[in-house]
Amino acid sequence: MKTNSSIHHSPGRPGGFTLIELLVVISIIALLAGIAVPIYQTAMMSGQQAAALQNARQIGIALRAYANDNGGTFITGTANAYGQQIQSSNDAFRSLIPTYLDNEQVFVVPVSVDGPRTDNKIDPYTNILKPGENHYAYIDGLTETSSSLWPLIVDGANSTGNYTTDQTAPGGVWKGTKAIVINCDSSAHLVPLLGPSTARYIPRFDDPTQDELNLSAYMGSTVQLLEPAAQ
């Protein structure tokens, strides 16, 4: 007897992903990106801070060498080594080049909005540290015998000596998280900032509730904060 041997095949699963599967994959990718990007940004900032800290340390060492050659006094007075009036930290730091530092690169923080990268032109002297080529403030009026806990150089502050969480604004170079501080003994520190988002401040070494850049409160009236020259 002849039998019907035909086999009925059930329809197979169509190739490719379904819409739901695609949405799940996209959601997973978005979740992973949301985790990875902040970690990457934090790692990048840490690397940039480490490089800037090393540069600032070199400025501090140069200032110590200058003081050793000038009776223990850091750069001060009405005029710098070139006879220019000292009105900004650029004017003061200019005295370090080329005797104590041979280039301008250590004075800039590439991620700062305070100015362009330096061109490293130091001849003639009028080219040294033009506005925008220095991103560090300087405390004028200190000596080698000043407290080793007192700041000598700080980075990134705005014109009021405060910081902000807005990285696109002056004082926001590290998003208001930390500030680079070089003390009178040339020690270098990444100091966590305190205070509200638009008025972050460096906590004073002996009283964290006080702003370390409120200099007259503990250093006296003979010192002053010199900000970088505006572009």
Are the CB atoms for 230 and 90 separated by under 8 Å?
no
The string of pLDDT tens digits covering residues 106-138 is: 999 988 888 778 899 999 999 999 999 999 999
Contacts of 188 by beta carbon, 8 Å cutoff, 6+ apart: 53, 54, 56, 57, 60, 180, 181, 182
The CA distance from 50 to 36, in Å, is 21
The string of pLDDT tens digits covering residues 168-202 is: 998 999 999 999 999 999 999 999 999 999 999 99
pLDDT reported for residue 161: 87
Domain locations in the chain as residue ranges: 23-226
Is 135 in a helix, a strand, or coil?
A: coil
Burial (0-12, 13-18, 19+ Cβ within 10 Å), 147: middle
pLDDT reported for residue 29: 85
pLDDT reported for residue 13: 55
Average pLDDT (6-18) is 58
pTM score of the predicted model: 0.83
pLDDT reported for residue 3: 52
Handedness of CA 43, 45, 48, 52 (dihedral sign): negative
